[in-house]
Amino acid sequence: MRFPHITLALLSAGASTLAAAQQTPAAPPAVTGTLTSLIIGMVLVLAVIAATAWLLKRLAPRTYGSSSVLRVVAGAAVGPRERVVIVEIGATWLVVGVAPGCVNTLHQMPRATGGETAEASPGATPAFAQWLKKFTEKRSDR
């Protein structure tokens, strides 16, 4: 008749374990605090990475290598995604129209020297602006 004694011993051990489990809280406060600090730390690290990437994008120089052969002199937006850009290649300037998926040469002229620059005086109409106006009028007449 050992069987009833073993069963009784197992039941009493299970009852004491169950009573001990019911007395302990579900999650100790130390675990909750650790998890919270871990999440806050991870969010801060991700925020620092995003801020650094944004600053590098904003403050990085817009040079495309140290090539003295090719240089972007000036550019102007003529639409939401279209630009007119003056590119200096050696002793010539190329006026280039840039749109998504399309780059067209609009005009080729000798490089400006000394007093001639891409930016004209505020009161006078620049020669390029006059040429561009004539060019667009010719294209619209076709």
In degrees rounded to 5, what are phi and psi of residue 11?
-65, -40
Report the alpha-carbon distance of residue 83 to residue 75 in Å, rounded.
7
In terms of average pLDDT, the best of 51-55, 62-66, 135-139 is 51-55
Residue 119 CB contacts under 8 Å (≥ 6 apart), including other chains: 74, 126
What is the share, in percent, of the chain residues with pLDDT greater than 90?
A: 25
Kindly report whether the global pTM for this prediction surpasses the value 0.85.
Answer: no
pLDDT tens figures, 114-138: 544 444 444 455 677 778 888 788 7
pLDDT tens figures, 74-99: 889 888 999 999 998 888 899 999 99
Report the alpha-carbon distance of residue 97 to residue 90 in Å, rounded.
19
Report the alpha-carbon distance of residue 135 to residue 24 in Å, rounded.
85
